[in-house]
Amino acid sequence: MNYQYQTKRWLEIAEANKPVLNHKKIFPEKLVIINPSKTAFHGWSLIAESNAHSLFQRKLSTGDAFTLDFGEHLVGYLHFSLNLIGDAMGGPLRLKFIFGEIPAEVAEPFDSYAGTLSRAWLQDEIVTVETLPFSMVLSRRFAFQYLKVEVLAASFDYRFVFSEIYVDAVSSAPSDIDSYSLKKVSPGLKALDIVGLRTLRNGMQTVFEDGPKRDRRLWLADSPLQALTNYYSYKNYDLVKRCIYLFAALICDDGRLPACVYERPSPHKGPEFILDFSILYASTLLDYGIHSYDWESVKELWPVALKQFHFIWDHLDKRNLFKDIGKWWIFIDWHSELDKQGPMQGLILYCFHRAVALAVKIDRQDDVSHFQMASKKMTESARDSLQKSSGELFVSGEKKQISWASQIWMILGDVVSPEEGKIILKKLLNQPNAIKPATPYIYHYAVEAMLKCNLKEQALELIKYYWGGMISHGASTFWEIYDPENPDFSPYDDFLINSYCHSWSCTPSYFIRKYFADPD
């Protein structure tokens, strides 16, 4: 282990900054009915049936079921109490609780799930009740807006009622997002802002969780987007500090940063290493320093950020073009056909420039002096080899693939000027065959690129079209995956396992606050 890596100390700092969670008791709003619908999102439409309070009048028995809508996406623990209607309980009661972030999760059976991720992420629990009255807190933490309860079995000689049901909602963000929401914006922007704030709140636990339903862990390139939105809203700098220190504390022996880390039972790293994620760490530190003014921490972690670039050099070919040597996972986006060459070329340049900016801030310019030459060569080769001529769309790979990701990262990597970027982006918008983003992660950078090129109107249109599209499908938090043209898309082969409250999707609140709203 490099002497510079004071991992023990860093872990102590991370743990010292572990937040205490805020709790709020949330009651269900409505009883709802979910019906199949050919036109509705995922094929299920929601109809309000009655006020949730009427549940307490329902005398339940075998075969009965109901669905509650808690009014918004929540993360927390379900509390409930049951009472006996009858003389005695001739046999026990078997209840199934199914929690859904979206209506489809409580409407479709989990038995036929055939996705590539563990079915155990799907949120259902079976409880056997031997004595009534009965009160319970389900031990598992759930992320959901909808709760379906099925009475799997009871005996004929009694009925029972729910006498209480609520969620103990938890977050390290303030639970009252309304007081944080923007007041002086249009209703459309206000809605986007609230959903973004809620997405951020529900992912803010003892780390920035990737998704509070699925992937309940800290990811290296996802959490910085939460941090960014947090800087413009809840301003919980300690949580960011905890996260950047956790990664540094769990650095691999060879200096690579793990792509994700786990908190329990004690902090440990996941086995994944993602090349593009690792070099973004410098950019994360720069943002943290700018917003928190905690440059001491940034200085302390600088060697870690710098080390990540070490793994880049053998990915450059003779022409200084990025080449996937098959050694590490390269992410960029979940689109299965996306060629990574062009996007990586731009992303590396972006990370060089951010690292240099950071080095200037903390007076470590010498550490990055070699970045400038590399940047110059990579920029030239990008223009020479991946672009026909100025103002043309960048291509990627042997098949000269045209993608949004390539244009976005070339612009953010300063391969072209904002003016040329504007021309490119306008062309891109009229290029239906270009590989589109598959996730909010890359859409985020698309908006960043547009804003950089002074396409403010188009950026807002994109936010409204993309994140607003989720809201129009009923979202109360923004999703991990959303392809407006293929709403059932899942990189895991089953949309039920997609996360519907996801870290990298919360940035509309950041964009609106930074670019589109007057200060309140």
Q: Identify the three-state secondary structure at position 334.
A: coil
User: Between residues 152 and 434, which has the closer beta carbon with respect to a second copy?
Assistant: 152
User: Left if phi > 0, otherwise alpha if psi is -120 to 50, otherwise beta: which for 427?
Assistant: alpha
User: Between residues 143 and 453, which has the closer beta carbon with respect to a second copy?
Assistant: 143
Least gap, CB of 487 to a second copy (angstroms)? 24
User: Between residues 8 and 264, which has the closer beta carbon with respect to a second copy?
Assistant: 264
User: Between residues 77 and 262, which has the closer beta carbon with respect to a second copy?
Assistant: 262
Cβ atoms within 10 A of the Cβ of 389, count?
A: 6
Burial of 24 (0-12, 13-18, 19+ CB in 10 A): middle
Cα separation, 37 vs 64, whole angstroms: 22
User: Between residues 215 and 367, which has the closer beta carbon with respect to a second copy?
Assistant: 215
Give the CA dihedral 329, 332, 334, 339, nearest 10 degrees: -90
Residues 6+ apart with CB under 8 A from 516: 185, 189, 456, 460
Tell me if 200 sits within 8 A of 510, measured CB to CB.
no
Q: Identify the three-state secondary structure at position 501.
A: coil
Least gap, CB of 443 to a second copy (angstroms)? 25
Least gap, CB of 213 to a second copy (angstroms)? 11
Tell me if 196 sits within 8 A of 86, measured CB to CB.
no
Residues that bind a second copy (CB under 8 A): 62, 86-94, 117-121, 125-126, 128-133, 140, 152-155, 157, 214, 216, 262, 264-265, 268-271
Report the relative pairing of strands 218-219 and 44-51 from DSSP bridges: unpaired
User: Between residues 111 and 457, which has the closer beta carbon with respect to a second copy?
Assistant: 111
- Of the candidates 373, 374, 397, the one whose C-alpha atom is nearest the C-alpha of residue 385 is 397
Residue whose tokens read 């080095």: 359
Which residues on neighbouring strands pair with residue 219, listed in sequence order?
260
User: Between residues 32 and 93, which has the closer beta carbon with respect to a second copy?
Assistant: 93
Longest CA–CA separation in the chain, Å: 85
Q: Identify the three-state secondary structure at position 396.
A: strand
User: What single-letter amino acid sits at 501?
Assistant: C
Cα separation, 24 vs 71, whole angstroms: 14
Residue whose tokens read 């922007």: 189
DSSP string, 18-49: PPPPEEEEE---EEEEEEE-SSSGGGEEEEEE
Cβ atoms within 10 A of the Cβ of 44, count?
A: 19
Phi, psi of 390 (to 5 degrees): -55, 135
Residue whose tokens read 């960014």: 228
Least gap, CB of 486 to a second copy (angstroms)? 24
Q: Residue 514 has what DSSP assignment? A: I
Least gap, CB of 295 to a second copy (angstroms)? 32
Least gap, CB of 212 to a second copy (angstroms)? 12
Tell me if 122 sits within 8 A of 213, measured CB to CB.
no
User: Between residues 49 and 272, which has the closer beta carbon with respect to a second copy?
Assistant: 272
Tell me if 468 sits within 8 A of 188, measured CB to CB.
yes
Least gap, CB of 129 to a second copy (angstroms)? 8
- Of the candidates 79, 203, 77, 205, the one whose C-alpha atom is nearest the C-alpha of residue 141 is 77
Least gap, CB of 334 to a second copy (angstroms)? 16
User: Between residues 273 and 467, which has the closer beta carbon with respect to a second copy?
Assistant: 273
Check whether the bond before 265 is cis (ω within 30° of 0). yes
Tokens of 104: 């489809």
User: Between residues 11 and 153, which has the closer beta carbon with respect to a second copy?
Assistant: 153
Q: Identify the three-state secondary structure at position 189.
A: helix
User: Between residues 262 and 295, which has the closer beta carbon with respect to a second copy?
Assistant: 262
User: Between residues 154 and 395, which has the closer beta carbon with respect to a second copy?
Assistant: 154
Least gap, CB of 504 to a second copy (angstroms)? 18
Tell me if 424 sits within 8 A of 408, measured CB to CB.
no
User: Between residues 51 and 118, which has the closer beta carbon with respect to a second copy?
Assistant: 118
Least gap, CB of 95 to a second copy (angstroms)? 9
